Amino acid sequence: MISNSLYEYIDKESIGSDLICLLCHNPFIDPTVTQCGDTYCRQCIEKYMRNGSHCPSQSCNQLLSTDHLIPPSHNFISILDKLKVRCQLCEKTNINRGTFDEHIKTSCPECILDCPGKNIGCQWFGSRNEHDEHTKTCLYEKLRRMGDILYRVIENQSLDIEKLQKQTEQQTTEIGQQKTKIELQKTQIEQLNTQGDQHNAQLERQATELGQQKTEIELQKTQIEQLNTQGDQHNAQ
Ligand SMILES: [Zn+2]
Ligand SMILES: [Zn+2]
Ligand SMILES: [Zn+2]
Ligand SMILES: [Zn+2]
């Protein structure tokens, strides 16, 4: 919760005593209910209980226990939220107390803000009014935007590199597969060559045998011719 020193209550005297904390005499902030049924700001009663053990209400004075602090009803909270306050920064009035944090965080023109480039070194701070104007011209902010763009470029390049790495890996795998295939084919060709060599040797052997048979046949033919010649001579005699 934003410090309650940034607002003041409108017409504080008219606020009912049932909404006022007995310890800080202001409307309850973050109220909590004790076991004995009395309501206090959480911070007030917790601080009080560091030294006091009994309810601060004189008419009650019962024993207190940190284990028995419960939140009040939603209705009670919503009554507190509707208390009207005035912003001490911009003087805007009639703000519901429950929405004061939002007023400071999102719209109070006098709220002091740091430059969004503070984390990269801009020392500037000023009211919300001046803030937008400063942000438009702040060198640090320009640098930050450039940094953001560069960062995105680098990120994209990293993605590209990752993609290329994946492609390269895939291609390496494919090359490996093709190498295996080529080696298999080489083995098959070698087997075929060996078979061819064996076949050639067989053919040569057969050719040699045929040559020998031819020689034998020719020899027999010559012998038969000689026998025929001898037979003819014999017949002539
Ligand atoms: Zn209090
Ligand atoms: Zn009490
Ligand atoms: Zn304001
Ligand atoms: Zn700046």
Query: Which of 63, 79, 110 finishes a domain?
Result: 110
Distant-in-sequence, close-in-space partners of 91: CB < 8 Å, separation ≥ 6 = none
pLDDT the model gives residue 215: 94
Query: Is pLDDT above 80 for 1?
Result: no
Q: How far apart are the C-alpha atoms of 117 and 122, rounded to whole Å? A: 5
**Which ligand is in closest contact with the Cα of 90?**
3
* Span from the CA of 74 to the centroid of ligand 1 (angstroms): 19
Range of the domain at 162: 111-219
**Which ligand is in closest contact with the Cα of 125?**
4
Average pLDDT of span 141-147: 86
Is 102 in the same domain as 158?
Answer: no
Q: Using pLDDT thresholds of 50, 70 and 90, give the confidence band for residue 66.
A: confident
Is 94 in the same domain as 143?
Answer: no
Is the separation of the CB atoms in 14 and 6 below 8 Å?
Answer: no
* Span from the CA of 126 to the centroid of ligand 4 (angstroms): 10
Could you tell me the end-to-end alpha-carbon distance of the chain, in angstroms, rounded to an integer? Answer: 156
Is 140 in the same domain as 80?
Answer: no
pLDDT tens, 22-34?
A: 999 999 999 999 9
For tokens 């061819």, the residue is 196
Q: Using pLDDT thresholds of 50, 70 and 90, give the confidence band for residue 148.
A: confident
**Which ligand is in closest contact with the Cα of 109?**
3
- Specify the 3-state DSSP secondary structure of 58: coil
Is the separation of the CB atoms in 47 and 7 below 8 Å?
Answer: no
Q: How far apart are the C-alpha atoms of 26 and 80, rounded to whole Å? A: 11
* Span from the CA of 32 to the centroid of ligand 1 (angstroms): 10
The closest alpha carbon to 115, from 132, 97, 98, 90, belongs to 132
pLDDT the model gives residue 146: 87
Cα three-residue angle 195-196-201, rounded to 5 degrees: 100
pLDDT the model gives residue 3: 66
* Span from the CA of 66 to the centroid of ligand 2 (angstroms): 13
Query: Is pLDDT above 70 for 2?
Result: no
Is 124 in the same domain as 204?
Answer: yes
Domain of 75, CATH number, reads: 3.30.40.10
Is 132 in the same domain as 172?
Answer: yes
Average pLDDT of span 7-30: 95
**Which ligand is in closest contact with the Cα of 111?**
3
pLDDT tens, 185-213?
A: 999 999 999 999 999 999 999 999 999 99
Q: Using pLDDT thresholds of 50, 70 and 90, give the confidence band for residue 5.
A: confident
Average pLDDT of span 82-101: 96
Ligand 1 ion: nearby residues, β-carbon < 5 Å:
21, 23-24, 41, 44
